[in-house]
Amino acid sequence: MKSRSIYAAIPQNLPEEILETIVAGNSVNIERIISKGHTSPQSGWYDQEKNEWVLVLKGKALLAFADEPSIYLNSGEYINIPAHKKHKVTWTDPETATIWLAVHY
């Protein structure tokens, strides 16, 4: 067994968002996402089969929803997104890496 840091291996230059699976199981997947100015595609919405609990460990982001007001997340803030709740990321801080922990269950 070996421990790892959620803050390790974060490149200064992020031409693309990084999505890393930390743990994958039958009913739960845990991911680390690193964004720096990245957003969801402008057209369409995420409409996921599973619930998603998301925590911003570092940075800032803005989440938009198809049927509710947008929610701004700062470091340390989290949200639980129910399955099939249409959402997207409309902004992440372009100056600082935003590190997310996402749990799909």
Which residue type is seen at 88?
K
pLDDT value at residue 26: 93
Q: Report the candidate in 54, 16, 52 with the shortest Cα–Cα distance to residue 34.
A: 16
- What order of strands is seen across the sheet that includes strand 87-92? 71-74, 60-65, 87-92
User: What is the pLDDT confidence band of residue 1, given thresholds at 50, 70 and 90?
Assistant: confident
pLDDT in tens, 68-93: 999 999 999 999 999 999 999 999 99
Instruction: Give the mean pLDDT of 6-14.
Output: 91
Instruction: Give the mean pLDDT of 19-37.
Output: 97
pTM: predicted TM-score of the whole model, two decimal places: 0.91
Structure tokens at 41: 């595609």
Residue 33 · residue 57 · CB < 8 Å:
no
Homologous superfamily of 18-104: Jelly Rolls (2.60.120.10)
Residue 70 · residue 64 · CB < 8 Å:
yes
pLDDT value at residue 42: 87
Domain boundaries, the chain: 18-104
